[in-house]
Structure 1
Amino acid sequence: MAHFPAQYSTLSAIALKNYIEAAYGLQLISCKFLLRGVSDTYIIEAIDAKYVLKIYREQHRSHDEIQAEVELLNLLKDGGANVVYPITAINGSHLQKFNALEGTRYGILFSYAEGAPVMDLNDDQLKTIGRQMAKVHNITSVVRLSYPRREYSIETTLINPIKSFEPAFNNLPDEYAYLKDMAGKVAQKLCSLDTANFSYGYCQYDFLPKNFHFDDAGNLTFFDFDFAGKGLLVNDLMSFFVHFFMHVYTGRLTDDEAGRMFAVFVAAYSETRALSDDELKAIPYLGVGFWIFYLGLQHEHFDDWSNLFFGVKFIKDRVGLIKVWVDKYCEGGFIEGVIV
């Protein structure tokens, strides 16, 4: 009997364990499904090491876009950056092809980032992140990938998402009007800045603590380059600042302490890579694009992620959060201690 068509299947962890053992010549102890997101993630444990297996969806990443991620991570690894990297199979390939119910899906076996995420960062850790992010940018500012990746621009982070998620705001006209008006103002502000002199290259665009680990010795490893794409490199500093904003928003940090901590990070970054005041001043406006871009992504992939949270309450709460960001940083000026 033919299988009924599927839009999203979950590949068997048992079958994947057998496949990975044969494809990579590994002796595996276990393969466990971890989470569903923009890709499906499995934790693989071998006799002497751990790995992460990611299974991509064509709706989210094309074959060429996945190849670009492989290429970027290999360039970063070869350049001495502390990142996870794709493992090469016995046949010399990095991508594995799976004939899933919904069609072809590709997988990559990655090295494992030892340690754990740290949400309450100390000054030494902030300095390490700053220096290591700058090291990543020294590489991504000069490389040119053979395969395409998305581009982060005014159109892709502001204009296009606003259009795409309009149907979700049918019963929230005031919230939609606010976002549309604010996106237009932010676009105008960014156009007024001399962004031609900003550093440009491949940014990770999700530099939150959930995407890097510190081990017991204080070593840092970056991972999860799912959203890496071409854009202003200060976008990565912006996405890292989102972490401090959320700590302030939830009452875990004061504005003054968030500003002090981000300034420690910025100073360490600047030891390795030049950063202009104008780039820092752009962070609040690029941050509006960050929030709107991910709101559009959540709407676009509602069915695939089973995003039960995406509803009226979530949208109203998210617009409220964006208003706080705008009032605090776009209207009120960026944080004391970084840009006065």
Structure 2
Amino acid sequence: MANSADFVQDALADGRQIIRLSGNFAIATIGEVDARLRDINSPVAEIDLSGVDHMDTVGAWLVHRTAKEHSAEITGGADDAGRLIDAISGVDQTDVVPKPHISSLNRLLAEIGSGVIVGITTLLQFLGFVGQVVKASFILVMNPSRFRWHAVVQHFDMVGVRALGIVGLMSFLIGIVIAQQGAVQLRQFGAEVFTINLIGRLTLRELGILMTAIMVAGRSGSAFAAQIGTMNITEEIDAMRTIGVVPAEALVVPRVIAAVIMMPLLGIYASLMSIIGGGILCWIVLDIPPATFVQRLREVTPMTDFWIGMIKAPVFGAIIAMAGCFQGMQVKGNAEQVGLKTTAAVVQAIFLVIVLDAFFAVFFSEIGWD
């Protein structure tokens, strides 16, 4: 082509040379000029663009690269070509900036610090959410016509009735494990009869309620988070706010009430199933008849153990329901967030339940309910 890209080389007295470009420096007309410019080995002092008719981005990049390789000065040419070359040189980031070295200790401290900040932030947000739920509860008490009784009954079914099978089986097996391990250890001292003490007190005071709470957290707490999170993604909660419905009143309070009421009932049921499991094992392994087992159980198990479990149960239920609803309300963006927040709801609920159980253990011990 007549106006294809080309260049000539003029030697200077000091051994360097001037490259004079000419023609159309565009992607369609550069041709073999790229390879010829790469083959230049002698030093270049100047690249003259006076003979260039037109230049596009590819041509500008070719000129900039050649000038950079030889540390040459670019002269001549139209203003448009100069501005294009300046723009190309502005985005040329071939130099890699080395990343600062971070020691393993600094990285560990940074991760710990980030975790602490996230934990404190989440705790403050959760406390604020608890305040919203308490406020919504008072408003519903003052305005009973706004309370959604059918939603509470529906959650009774999901939290309580549908959980009977798995809670009963888990508690029955835990009772067997407690009895078996207690019998093995106490047999060394000829005190197998005290296995009944272990089953009764440990089941009614601690494990019956605690294991039920963990099961409800994994089952119902996760369901609350997934349900509300999905409603967040589909903008149903925004629609509720638009029509004047308060989400805390319509979604959170019924779930919290259902969990608070059903947890003591599930705790009693779980304790009974655990005692039955332990009693069956004592009957089979230790030859303790059911009548003797029940009589001994009544003698060694104080009513305070039962009341301790009943005090803890509604608190655990409220914490589980509010943790699930709180994480569901935090869902933003896409469906992946639903899974992440559901997992966070289960972890948060179980963690808070265990922390509160430890607090109750110390508190009741201090007031003399040993």
Q: TM-score higher than 0.5 here? A: no
Q: Which has the larger radius of gyration?
A: 2
Give 1 or 2: higher helix fraction. Answer: 2
Report the TM-score when normalising by structure 2: 0.21
TM-score (norm 1): 0.22
The structure richer in strand per residue is: 1
